[in-house]
Structure 1
Amino acid sequence: MRSSFSARRASLRRGWLLAAVMLVLAAMGSAWMSDNRSATSSARQHAIAAPTAREAAHQIGPCSADLAYSQMLPPNGDNVINMRDLCTGNFRQIKTGRQAAVSVPSLSPDGSMVAYSSGNLDQPESRLYVADTKTGAVRELRHLAGAILSPVFSPDGKTIAFLHGAPPDSQPGIYTIHRDGTSLQLVLPATKYDQNQATHLNWTPDGKALIYPEAGIHRANLGGSEPSTVWSGQGFTLTGPAFIGSNGNTFYFQGQKGTSGGMSQLWSCPLECKTPKQLTQVTQQLRGYTLAEFGNSLYYSVSRGPDPSGDTDVYALNLINNRTSRLFSAKNASDITTPLVSGADRRNIVALGDSYSSGEGAPVKSADGKVRYIAGTDTDTNKCHRSMAAYPVLLHEELNHDLGLEFHACSGATIKDFWESFYEDRRKNPEEDPQLEWINSRTEIVTLTIGGNDVSFADVMDYCARQYGKGAESPCKKTWEGAVRSGINNLIAKGSRHDDLPSLYAEIRRRASEAQVFVIGYPRFFPADPPDSCPTGVPVRTFSRSDMRWINSEIANLNDQIKKLAESASFTFVDVFDSLKGHEVCTNKSWINRALVHWKLDPNKQVQSFHPNVAGHKAIVGVVVRYIR
């Protein structure tokens, strides 16, 4: 129930004043931590990296990442924004030219710009700025009456969102503005939320909404609909920003359990969960945190001791293996924000291919028991079914390269989908660009698995799983042998229709002449010495020994042809044929799914059939990483 108009105006006035005070306190927090040395001495302190900084960075993810944080320098109280390279410990400094409070900075996704706001209590207005991270050039986008809080770049880098704590005679709320200062838009008026609590803002991974903490975590859609609740916050006091992970299935927040005080900690929870998981055990003040670009790590800063003039330690928490590493110690690092790899310098792993690369058979189970793919890849217009458990994601984590990850493998892909947008009737993915578009001069490593759909393996397995055979019977081989052999012949014969491997490999090399390209084969489905018969997964249907041997032999034949062409293109062929040995279909602990026929309950299960599961992808990445290292 909303208050009366006069009470609401009073509440808005309090919210505006509180927002302005918080903006100044953010800078005061930095001032409290400053020592009494000169600005030059302070800069020298920042340049000293912990001896294990590079080693620690390699333990948690991409090394060539920047952390941005604001700092107030003595003796004049000038504010700067520091950009620290996690590999080298080197940092760049952006002079804001402001002695007023400077907000937590936000890096653009390509690392080229940083956004921040600044304001004074004695001058009740704030200004929104962007700065070039290479040149340090600062440009004012807007100045507004009241406080501008929590400016943050959208995932595509084109838009900046912020909270506007405006005076009562203005219109406070959540706003967006184009990075060039045009197109100021009101997303949600402050009458829809409590300004006293909503002091942090972040984007959803798809860029279609903003989330903010307010006695829970809430979502404001850009389309202007009513805000919705992501999580009620029951039993917790939220004390910092909230993030939704890159897979769209997990949220993270800073807060205290209960209302009795104590240190704030970092927590995570799958959407719709009831019991958040505690991620940290800090014993001093948690000063700030952020979720890394690909969602595999959290970076956070903690006061080293109870004395606020002491150092702040910066940590990284690996969300895959739950390992924490201290990266460095810094003076006045009150807020750590947005670790990103600079787009101008970043080198990438580009993971392409079909369902064996996308993770079709390995969706991740959430707390509610549902299986989920990466957000946006299991919709009516996109069925690429990319999984956080797929081997490209595991490979990126395992290598700990100074690289970003471009993950664009797509279930159902054929060679043509490297050249053309995916519009097949049976699997419409109009949102997917041709896979070759992701390869460019910044590509360091390419991984791909492709060819299985071109030789009709999906149709073969669908047919074979519905037969009844044993021993020497070969109903599957008799029906499909000719078509499979013809498909393999077409695959290896160079043509002009963009459906052959020689043309694809040549184009990959043309687009990224210096890249390392790793062509991954397909694993064997059945034991080398299969039983007389084996349940297919379809009720009362069995594979015969003869058909199981034939299917294995055709996979081996396809791999042999792919290997020859890959090596002739100076690519590395990764042989994973035996990667599931002892855990194939028809074994007790299979790492590859049998036919899953419960499509009336879960349509995804039908297409997950005969694909490596989570354990299978772990086995495959174990092979792949040995080739790359």
Structure 2
Amino acid sequence: MAESTAVAAESDRPRSRRGRGLAVAIAGLGLIAAAIAGPAGPASAAATKWTPPQQLQYAAVGDSFAAGTGARPYADKACSRSALAYPKLLTLDLRIKLAAFPACSGADIPATLAQVNTLPSGLGAISVGVGGQDVGFVAVMYSCFVVPDPAVCPALIAAGAAGAQTPEFAAGIDAVILAAKAKAPKVVLTGYPLLFHENGAGVNPKYQYADEVNDATVILNDALEARALANGIVFVDVEDDFAGHGIGSSRPWINDFFALLPTDGFHPNAFGYAAYAKAVRPSLAP
């Protein structure tokens, strides 16, 4: 497993969700590329000499959701870093070059700050995905869903939600953002999906604490958005993009826990990372 109290679901109850609309499932890399890169040019362009596009030098830092954990195979097993991670998918647009990709499963705020400090100069944009590990993602997933413990789980959820609203958490996120802004003129902070599908009654039939974790994730996303706004950068919220595709839905974009592949559990699959790429791409547009 990896991190972030990130948790996704479709809920009929009102939540703090921003309206970018439901992302559609993408059936193949060709369609993903088209969605990310945008429409083709006029037919007459085929007759002209092709020249390489000017490329945005882009870097991606952060935790397992930035690294692509959950979408095997992993190019880097130590960090569970995937070729299907959204930073990699963004390079299907030839105008984007992934110049550095140190995002790593398990990265908290200090680790992400260290990643930023390793980035090269001359970058045009950086995406940052961090915060979940700092509010107890691993502990919550284990004690609420892998080996449910009613004596521990509710307290962990409450502590995570409270932690996301502390001055210390805000200061840590600010430090990462400011370090990234010193490296690139454009910085994008990404949020987390709600991991669990909720039925019309607002519950997940399999997991008792799914709705509580979804609610805590909304609080986390709101805290991240507040830091992005305070620091003058873009926040990419993916709650609506994943709506209807949480664990327990008919078409999940989140992996359920599977004992033989424990790292993958409670992280997006390839469809989920395609949705992330589609959501992030407009914020990187020249």
Q: Tell me if 1:443 matches 2:123.
A: yes
The 8 Å contact of residues 57 and 99 in structure 2, kept in 1 or not, is answered as yes
The 8 Å contact of residues 62 and 107 in structure 2, kept in 1 or not, is answered as yes
Unaligned runs of 5+ in 1: 1-49, 58-62, 65-345, 364-371, 420-433, 495-499, 536-542, 599-604
The 8 Å contact of residues 187 and 233 in structure 2, kept in 1 or not, is answered as yes
Give the aligned partner of residue 107 of structure 2.
413
The 8 Å contact of residues 396 and 405 in structure 1, kept in 2 or not, is answered as no
Q: In the alignment, which of 30, 54, 74 is matched to residue 373 of structure 1?
A: 74
Aligned-partner Cα distance in 1 for 2:66–2:238 = 12
Aligned-partner Cα distance in 2 for 1:52–1:461 = 53
Query: What amino acid maps onto 1:51 in structure 2?
Result: T
The 8 Å contact of residues 190 and 237 in structure 2, kept in 1 or not, is answered as yes
C-alpha deviation, 1:52, in angstroms: 4.3
C-alpha deviation, 1:348, in angstroms: 1.6
Cα deviation code 1:88-109 (max 9, x no counterpart)? xxxxxxxxxxxxxxxxxxxxxx
Q: Using a 3 Å threshold, how does the CA distance of structure 1 residues 595 and 347 change in structure 2: closer, same or farther?
A: same
Q: In the alignment, which of 165, 176, 183 is matched to residue 504 of structure 1?
A: 176
3-state secondary structure, aligned to 1:352:
strand
3-state secondary structure, aligned to 2:134:
coil
Structure 1 segment 343-358 matched on structure 2, within 5 A: 348-358=57-67
C-alpha deviation, 1:468, in angstroms: 6.0
C-alpha deviation, 1:406, in angstroms: 1.5
Whose strand fraction is larger, Structure 1's or Structure 2's? 1
Query: What amino acid maps onto 2:131 in structure 1?
Result: G
Give the aligned partner of residue 485 of structure 1.
161
Query: What amino acid maps onto 2:169 in structure 1?
Result: I
Structure 1 segment 184-195 matched on structure 2, within 5 A: none
Structure 1 segment 222-233 matched on structure 2, within 5 A: none
Q: Using a 3 Å threshold, how does the CA distance of structure 1 residues 518 and 551 change in structure 2: closer, same or farther?
A: same
Q: In the alignment, which of 254, 263, 269 is matched to residue 592 of structure 1?
A: 254
3-state secondary structure, aligned to 1:463:
helix
Structure of higher RCO (CA pairs closer than 8 Å, 6+ residues apart): 2
3-state secondary structure, aligned to 1:360:
coil
> How many pairs does the alignment contain?
238
Aligned-partner Cα distance in 1 for 2:233–2:198 = 28
3-state secondary structure, aligned to 1:587:
coil
Q: Using a 3 Å threshold, how does the CA distance of structure 1 residues 613 and 475 change in structure 2: closer, same or farther?
A: farther
C-alpha deviation, 1:518, in angstroms: 0.9
Structure 1 segment 253-264 matched on structure 2, within 5 A: none
The 8 Å contact of residues 347 and 442 in structure 1, kept in 2 or not, is answered as no
Query: What amino acid maps onto 2:48 in structure 1?
Result: P
Give the aligned partner of residue 205 of structure 1.
none
Aligned-partner Cα distance in 2 for 1:387–1:491 = 31
The 8 Å contact of residues 122 and 183 in structure 2, kept in 1 or not, is answered as no
Aligned-partner Cα distance in 1 for 2:96–2:69 = 27
Q: Tell me if 1:615 matches 2:271.
A: yes
TM-score, normalised via structure 2 length:
0.75
Q: Using a 3 Å threshold, how does the CA distance of structure 1 residues 576 and 549 change in structure 2: closer, same or farther?
A: same
The 8 Å contact of residues 492 and 565 in structure 1, kept in 2 or not, is answered as no
Structure 1 segment 16-55 matched on structure 2, within 5 A: 51-54=48-51
Q: Using a 3 Å threshold, how does the CA distance of structure 1 residues 626 and 528 change in structure 2: closer, same or farther?
A: farther
Structure 1 segment 534-613 matched on structure 2, within 5 A: 534-535=205-206, 543-544=207-208, 547-598=209-260, 605-613=261-269
Aligned-partner Cα distance in 2 for 1:447–1:387 = 16
Q: Using a 3 Å threshold, how does the CA distance of structure 1 residues 565 and 616 change in structure 2: closer, same or farther?
A: same
Whose helix fraction is larger, Structure 1's or Structure 2's? 2
Structure with higher Rg: it is 1
Give the aligned partner of residue 68 of structure 1.
none
C-alpha deviation, 1:510, in angstroms: 2.4
Which runs of structure 1 show a deviation greater than 6 angstroms over 4 or more consecutive aligned residues? Answer: none
The 8 Å contact of residues 256 and 266 in structure 2, kept in 1 or not, is answered as yes
Give the aligned partner of residue 332 of structure 1.
none
C-alpha deviation, 1:457, in angstroms: 1.1
C-alpha deviation, 1:587, in angstroms: 1.0
Q: Using a 3 Å threshold, how does the CA distance of structure 1 residues 357 and 51 change in structure 2: closer, same or farther?
A: same
Give the aligned partner of residue 117 of structure 1.
none
Query: What amino acid maps onto 1:458 in structure 2?
Result: V
Aligned-partner Cα distance in 1 for 2:204–2:170 = 36
C-alpha deviation, 1:482, in angstroms: 3.6
